[in-house]
Amino acid sequence: MGTHGWAYRRRQPEGTVLYEAVRDNLATLLAEASEVGRGMPRYVERDFARYLECGVLAHGFARVRCESCKDELLVAFSCKGRGVCPSCNAKRAHVTAVHLVERVLPHVPYRQWTLSFPHRVRWVLLKDVGLLSDVLTVFLRAVFALQRRRARRQGMRGGQVGAVSFIQFFGSALQVTPHFHSLVPDGVFVPREGGVRFEALPPPTQGEVEQLLRVVRHRALRLLEKRGALPAQGPEDALQAYQAHSLQQRLRWTEVDVRPPPRKQPRCALLEGFSLHANTHLHANDRQGLERLCRYGARGALALERLARMEDGRIAYRMKRPLPDGTTHLLFTGLELLRRVASLVPAPRANLTRFHGVFAPGAQLRPFLVPQAGAEERSVAPQAAASTEPMKEKTPRVDWAELLRRTFALDVFACPRCGGRRKVLAYVTAPAGVRSILEHLGLPSQALKRAPARGPPQQAWC
C-alpha cells in the first residue's frame, strides 16, 4: 500500500502555531476558567477539543485510490467546528457563499451595509443573542424603509426589498466586536402578473446614510433601554470575563494614546460610537465578487497564515492594516491567545446568516427570485425581469472533495503521478483498523496528548 506524503502533510495540523498553542495551554485555560463564576461553557471546551482532532489521521480517515496506478492517499476527517478551527471555518464560508450565490441571490446589483456599535452596546449584544437579533431587525427595517422611499421618489410604488445578513463577533485584530454585514439589492423588486421585475436605484447620498445612522442609533438605544439592558451587568462566567477583557483592550495608536480621527469616506457615517458603511457595491454580473463578499461575511475569526512564532516563544498575529505608529503585529503568549480565541467562539444553535424581506424563507416573492437549481449563470440587466418560475429542484450541497478543492486548491481525486482519477476506497473509523494501517505505513498512530495544566491559575488578566 502506498501513500502520497505531500497531501498527507497538507491536511495535518500538528506543527502549526495554533495547534501547539491549544495543545500546550488548553488544560491551563480550563483550570483557570474553573475559578471564574460558572467556569467555561461546555461548547467552548468542546470546540477546542474537536480542533485537536481535526485533520489528525489517528482519529480516522478516508482511503482514496487511483484507478490507474493504484497509488493511495489518506484524507483525515474534519472537526466541522465554527469557532476555533481555521480550516473548517474556511470551508464553512465556502459552503455558505456557494449556496447563496447559486441558490439564493438573484442576478441584480448589491450594496453591502455594515453597522458597528460603541463599546457599551457591544457588551449588551454579546450577552443576549435574542437582543442582537432584534437590533438587526431594527437596522434592516430602517434600510428597507429608505429603499422604498427612494423608489417612490423615482415613481416606483409597491417595491419590496430583501437582505442577507452576516453576524460577526470579531474584528481583524481578534478583538470582540459584534457587528453586521448586510447584502441588500441596490433597488426594489416590483411584483407584476406572473412574476417580479427588478428596478435599480441610484446610490444613496452621504446625507441619506448619515440620516439613516441617526435613526438606527435612536431606535437601537431606545430598544435597549426598554428591555432594561442598559446599564449592563458584569460577566457571569469565564467566557464573559474573557469577552469583557477583550472589549476593554485598546490598541496602542500613538505615544500619547490618542486615536487619530477617521478618514472621511463616501457613504460612511460615524455617530457616538455607531458606525455605518455603505460604499461597497457590486455589479449585477459580478458573481465572483459576490461570492467573495459572501465568503468574507461568513469567514471565521482567525486567519492561520497570519500567525507566526517569535524567537522569544511568543505568538505574533499580523493585522490587516498597520497602526499609525507602524505597529503591524499583536503579540500573545499561548495562554493569552487561547483566551482571545475563546472569547470569539459563537454560541451553538445561533444562526450567523440571516434572511430578511423577500429572501426570508416564507416570503411570497422568494420562489420567483432565487436562481434555478443547476441552471447556468445568466447575465440579467438591472432593468430586466427576474426569473418568473419558482425553483422546483434541489441540488446537493458541496461535497467534501469539491470543498477541499475550493478551499485549499487540492483535488484529492487527481493523481499527480499518472494523471488518473482516484475514487474513495473506504472510510476508516474503527480504532483498530486506523492503527494497523498507520503503523503499516510508518505514520503516527497515536494523537498527541494535551499538556497538563501549569501551576496555579493566575487571574492577573481579569
* This prediction's pTM: 0.84
Cis peptide before 457 (omega within 30 of 0): no
> For residue 337, which of 310, 364, 355 has the smallest C-alpha distance?
310
**What pLDDT score was predicted for residue 459?**
52
Do residues 222 and 109 touch, judged by C-beta distance below 8 A? no
For the chain, the structural domain boundaries read: 5-79+400-441, 87-252+264-302+353-369
- Give the list of residues 6+ apart from residue 145 with CB closer than 8 angstroms, or none: none
The rounded distance, in Å, linking the Cα atoms of 445 and 431 is 9
The rounded distance, in Å, linking the Cα atoms of 301 and 47 is 14
The cell for 154 is 423615482
Strand ordering across the sheet containing 307-309: 307-309, 315-318, 329-332
**Over its length of 462 residues, how does the chain's per-residue pLDDT go in tens digits?**
444 433 343 445 555 889 999 999 999 999 988 887 778 889 999 999 999 998 889 999 999 998 888 888 898 898 888 889 998 999 999 999 999 998 899 999 999 999 999 988 888 888 888 899 999 999 999 999 999 999 999 888 889 999 999 999 998 888 889 999 999 999 999 988 878 899 999 999 999 999 999 999 999 999 999 988 776 666 666 777 777 777 666 544 333 344 455 566 889 999 998 999 999 999 999 999 999 999 999 999 888 889 999 999 899 998 888 877 778 888 999 999 999 999 899 888 889 999 999 999 888 888 888 765 334 333 333 343 444 444 444 555 677 888 888 888 888 888 888 888 889 989 999 999 999 999 998 888 888 888 888 876 555 544
End-to-end CA, the chain = 54
**What pLDDT score was predicted for residue 190?**
92
- Give the list of residues 6+ apart from residue 376 with CB closer than 8 angstroms, or none: none
Do residues 83 and 168 touch, judged by C-beta distance below 8 A? no
Rounded to 10°, the helix 42-53/334-342 angle is: 120
**What pLDDT score was predicted for residue 418?**
86
